[in-house]
Structure 1
Amino acid sequence: MRAKIFLILAGFLSTLSTVPAGAAAGAPFLYQGIGEHREGSAILEWQNAVGTRDARPFSERGFETGLWLDYVPVDGAGLRFSNSYLFSAGVEPRAAVFLEGSWLLLRNEWQGMDLGLGFGFGRDFRDAWLPRIRVFLGAKSGRFEIAAGVLAEFPMAAGRDAMDVIITAAAGYRIADSWVAGVEAAAEDLEGFFEEEEAEGGARLTAGPTLWVHVTDSWHIKANVAACITGRLQDGTRELVAPGVAARLAVGYSF
């Protein structure tokens, strides 16, 4: 029986390794903000996340679930819509919704790298309306792929920072045609290491491995587990808050 199970699993994995890498759309990372930019393409992702500590690029404390839709009406210009819900113990479920447009200024096929701008508007889990600006870049060479981005948000609410900045970076290696393994990192509110009056509770650093699996021509799976560290300046002394963990799983369909 065990031998049969092993043969079935091995056969399934071998089919994954033969799926054409270019059939599914999108980048193999979860937090970089780089969508698809091929005209007519669309990707629908169901994303789920759990966090033991606040780490907003990944999840707030609790369980988060939602849908993300990327659509490209014109080559090089994409639209992204997301609607997510956050469930925390003892708190009413909260919703977040965003709409963002992005444009590629440089393309990897032509200039050797992707460089793009994004502009969006939405409402976050703390019921604040906020415009956002994003700069992202990426590059591919052989089996290697890298990506980075800066997201600036401007909460329209009292008691919040005038601007929140999130910096992300990622690197991946295509271990097979349908598998990409990598690592992602994000930093938010870094001024919390230097300013005691930082309004968001301190600086947050997150990092961990990501795996992207291209299951069929249309379906893909992304998963990430990240360690979360929060630091702050208290009475002139920098201190670290107990670390936490955040994890995210996305199941996507491209059409």
Structure 2
Amino acid sequence: MKKSFFIFLSMIACLTVRAQMPSVKPTVNGSPGNIQPFLFSVNTLTSTSPSWNLYYSGSYGERTAAPFGIDGVDQQVAFKGYLGNRFTLYANASIGIARSGGVASAQQAELLRDFVGGKTTFGPRLGLGLGVSHDLSNVGAVFSRITASFDRASWRIGGNLRFEKAFSSNRDDIDLITSIGFHHRIAGNFFAGVEAVGEDLEGFWEADEAEGGAKLLVGPSVNITPSNSRFSFSLCGGPVFYATHSTAYPSEAIRDIGTIGTQNGFTLRGAVSFNLHQ
């Protein structure tokens, strides 16, 4: 699976070289288009967005972060760029630090393309992505992601539907993950709203779901992009509800709100993105 992962990255690099580098166009109050406004949904970029961006996020959770130890902390570094022709590249690596002192990592990369919209910042967009991942337990997976969003000057909504297939006999045939977020402008480039996440939803009909059962999170979300700044900041958190409990011991698959599946908890995630262009 590692070989496939590197082949996938090589193909992306070739596309990057061939793609045109679009100029950055400001949107509101001198700030560029939003790179990643929601914490739990991946959005596609447009030609009016900053072309290449670095993205860092950190999470803290109680009774939710099994791969990194109970009540663990995880860090994620991502690279996101617009390749032209409505293609978006998104790749990240996660590092988990347990209270016991252990450290683990996971990686994933994907290529997304808008098939509806995607040529301007505002308006509806509908896209499809394909990617590969390598989780904490050395298990590889392939996944597809459906992205949908609608942006206006005063509000935005976006969400994902992700289907994942892990290459292990101890995992589910297909994992289903969904998320949605809504933001409304409060003042200037400050937005606030709510995000919701549903992970491993196949747990509603599979008693032996491999990640411990279906999990849900709903909580407040904020995003701010200072005027004439290359930085953007986001924060979201809330309670994690374990809607079902599986008979299987939770795996170490890549999940944003944990894989314990035994009791409720909470997760708080913050992120900062940096536009690499002036």
* TM-score normalised by structure 2 residue count: 0.75
Q: Which residue of 1 aligns with 2:37?
A: 28
Q: Which residue of 1 aligns with 2:195?
A: 184
Give the Cα–Cα distance (whole angstroms) in 2 for the partners of residues 249 and 75 of structure 1: 31
Seen in structure 2, the aligned counterparts of structure 1 residues 60 and 153 have a Cα distance that, compared at 3 Å, is: farther
Structure 1 portions without partners, runs of 5+: 1-18
What is the count of residue pairs matched by the alignment? Answer: 231
Letter in 2 for 1:154: K
Cα shift at 1:100: 0.7
- 3-state DSSP class of the match of 2:166? coil
Q: Does 1:107 align with 2:107?
A: no
Give the Cα–Cα distance (whole angstroms) in 1 for the partners of residues 122 and 153 of structure 2: 15
| Equivalent residues of 1:55, 1:206 under 8 A apart | no
Seen in structure 2, the aligned counterparts of structure 1 residues 27 and 95 have a Cα distance that, compared at 3 Å, is: closer
Q: Does 1:41 align with 2:62?
A: no
Seen in structure 2, the aligned counterparts of structure 1 residues 110 and 200 have a Cα distance that, compared at 3 Å, is: closer
Q: Which residue of 1 aligns with 2:264?
A: 243
Among all aligned residue pairs of Structure 1 and Structure 2, give the percentage whose two residues are the same amino acid.
24
Give the Cα–Cα distance (whole angstroms) in 2 for the partners of residues 111 and 219 of structure 1: 20
| Superposition RMSD in Å | 2.6
Letter in 2 for 1:38: S
Structure 1 runs (4+) greater than 3 angstroms displaced: 108-112
Q: Does 1:229 align with 2:238?
A: no
Cα shift at 1:26: 1.5
Letter in 2 for 1:63: V
Give the Cα–Cα distance (whole angstroms) in 1 for the partners of residues 40 and 65 of structure 2: 12
- 3-state DSSP class of the match of 2:45? coil
Give the Cα–Cα distance (whole angstroms) in 2 for the partners of residues 119 and 249 of structure 1: 26
Structure number with larger C-alpha Rg:
1
Seen in structure 2, the aligned counterparts of structure 1 residues 23 and 211 have a Cα distance that, compared at 3 Å, is: same
| Equivalent residues of 2:179, 2:198 under 8 A apart | yes
Q: Does 1:201 align with 2:212?
A: yes
Deviates more, 1:245-254 or 1:213-222: 213-222
Map 1:5-16 to 2 at 5 A.
Answer: none
Cα shift at 1:155: 1.0
Please identify which structure carries the higher strand content.
1
Cα shift at 1:64: 0.8
| Equivalent residues of 1:194, 1:233 under 8 A apart | no
Q: Does 1:120 align with 2:131?
A: yes
- 3-state DSSP class of the match of 1:211? strand
Give the Cα–Cα distance (whole angstroms) in 2 for the partners of residues 173 and 197 of structure 1: 40
- 3-state DSSP class of the match of 2:137? coil
Letter in 1 for 2:239: A
Cα shift at 1:112: 3.6
Q: Which residue of 1 aligns with 2:230?
A: 218
| Equivalent residues of 1:98, 1:123 under 8 A apart | yes
| Equivalent residues of 1:24, 1:220 under 8 A apart | no
The match for 1:89 among 89, 99, 102 is 99
Give the Cα–Cα distance (whole angstroms) in 1 for the partners of residues 245 and 113 of structure 2: 38
Seen in structure 2, the aligned counterparts of structure 1 residues 78 and 123 have a Cα distance that, compared at 3 Å, is: same
Give the Cα–Cα distance (whole angstroms) in 2 for the partners of residues 60 and 118 of structure 1: 32
- 3-state DSSP class of the match of 2:64? coil
Deviation readout 1:150-195 (Å, 9 max, x if unpaired): 0111111231112111011111101122101011101112232343
